[in-house]
Amino acid sequence: MTVSCIVSAYNESQLIDRCISQLLDTLKKDFEQFELIIIDDGSTDDTADKIKTAAEKDDRIVFLPNYVNLNLGSSVLRGMGVAKYDYITINSVDLCFPIEEYKSIINEAQNYDILVIERVGYKPVLWRRIASNIHIFLLHILFPIGMRGNPVTNYIQVFRKEMLPLIEPLSRSPIFFQAEMIFRAKRKGLRVGNRKVNFNDEVKRKGAFGKPHDIIWGIYDMLRYRLRSWFGNA
């Protein structure tokens, strides 16, 4: 099994060294071949410098700088575009997906084209909980078939690399680009699985999303994809 792990970072100077160190240790232990693709999304602190330094020390780290802030969707999709290994997954800088689960989910992902991870034990603050519930409600209203079997679409997935050209999304909004990829996969009859994993809240970090701008952007992407799906040009 070969794995490409993608992380997008924006102004994460305090956490990026820990993130890189722990991911490298886990990936080296569990996989013979892997790459760690880290995108600096136009940070204004020294996040990019720290990633660059780490990449110079280990050629398994791929450093991709965004010279302006493009947001999560564009950054992750850029990482997917350069990924070279069989299975592709993502994580956040605070490692909200527990890294000790990587080997297990990659093993399970061999049975699917996409393995969708459902987080268990996630307890967001009140505003994030409200925004999340609205998001899920809209997805169920607009995409009832796409949501079947995959109640969480914006956490972590494992993608079989060869399938990515078939499910490339139009969306770039942080709350919908992953959901669109899942829905496209189902429309094409690909194998989509679901797996529950405990949410890692070891690092208490202010959420980057759930702001009005992200919600409006996400709703626009949802409606655009829904309309294109209805008219057959999704």
Is residue 13 within 8 A of residue 88, CB to CB? The reply is no
pLDDT of amino acid 207:
55
pLDDT of amino acid 125:
79
**Does this model's pTM top 0.85?**
yes
Of all residues in the chain, what percent are helix, strand and coil, respectively (each to 5)? 45, 20, 35
- The DSSP output letter for 198 is E
pLDDT of amino acid 194:
96
| CATH number reported for the structural domain that contains residue 144 in this entry | 3.90.550.10
Tens digit of pLDDT at every position of the chain (234 positions): 899 999 999 999 999 999 999 999 999 999 999 999 999 999 999 999 999 999 999 999 999 999 999 999 999 999 999 999 999 999 999 999 999 999 999 999 999 999 999 998 887 778 778 888 888 999 999 999 999 999 889 899 999 999 999 999 999 999 999 999 999 999 999 999 999 999 888 776 655 556 788 889 999 999 999 999 988 776
- The structural domain count of the chain equals 1
Structure tokens at 108: 């399970």
pLDDT of amino acid 122:
80
- What residues does 194 pair with on adjacent strands? 116
Stated as kind and residue range, the H or E segment containing 214 is helix 212-230
CA distance from start to end of the chain: 32
Burial class (CB in 10 A: 0-12, 13-18, 19+), 8: buried
Range of the domain at 113: 2-230
**Distance between CA 93 and CA 19 in Å, rounded?**
6
Torsion over CA: 183, 172, 72, 55 (sign): positive
- HSE-up (13 A, CA, CB side) for residue 197: 25
pLDDT of amino acid 204:
60
pLDDT of amino acid 121:
82
